[in-house]
Amino acid sequence: MGDHFKVDVDQLDRFVKTLQQATKDLDEARQALAHVRAAEMGTSRLDEACDTFQERWKYGSEQLSEMIGAISEGVKANKLSYEELEENLESALKQMAEASTSGDGVKG
């Protein structure tokens, strides 16, 4: 069974960093657009469309940032769980090996 399920905790770290960078990039893009005023674009119809887009973009980007943050926290928690599992498994296997070589686990 172990041959079919493997977790690369370093890859989980890289994934978390990628998610955090995506959130940062999204926030930077939103902030850059926040300085552009619709009145600078042209006609009143275009200005209104730009204002509507700005409002939707702000709301949508904030929602995406929250979701990405939640995913990032979940991946971090899973990574810690896998690391703890590996440590506990390693410790248990060492104890079993010590018991078998010391004769404690041998019935006679």
Q: What is the CATH number of the domain that holds 18?
A: 1.10.287
Compute the distance between CA of residue 14 and CA of residue 10 in angstroms, rounded to an integer: 6
Within a domain: residue 105?
no
Nearest CA-CA partner of 64 in 25, 26, 15: 26
Q: How many domains, in total, are found in the chain?
A: 1
Within a domain: residue 57?
yes
Within a domain: residue 50?
yes
Within a domain: residue 48?
yes
The residue segments making up the domain with residue 74 are 11-89
Distance of CA 46 to the CA centre of its chain: 37
Q: What is the pLDDT of residues 76-98, one digit of tens each?
A: 999 999 999 989 999 999 999 99
Is the whole-model pTM more than 0.75?
Answer: no
What is the per-residue pLDDT for 37?
A: 63
Within a domain: residue 97?
no
Within a domain: residue 53?
yes
Compute the distance between CA of residue 85 and CA of residue 75 in angstroms, rounded to an integer: 15
Within a domain: residue 49?
yes
Within a domain: residue 81?
yes
Q: Does residue 3 register a pLDDT over 80? A: no
Q: How large is the greatest C-alpha to C-alpha distance in the chain, in angstroms?
A: 94
Average pLDDT over residues 57-79: 88
Compute the distance between CA of residue 10 and CA of residue 79 in angstroms, rounded to an integer: 9
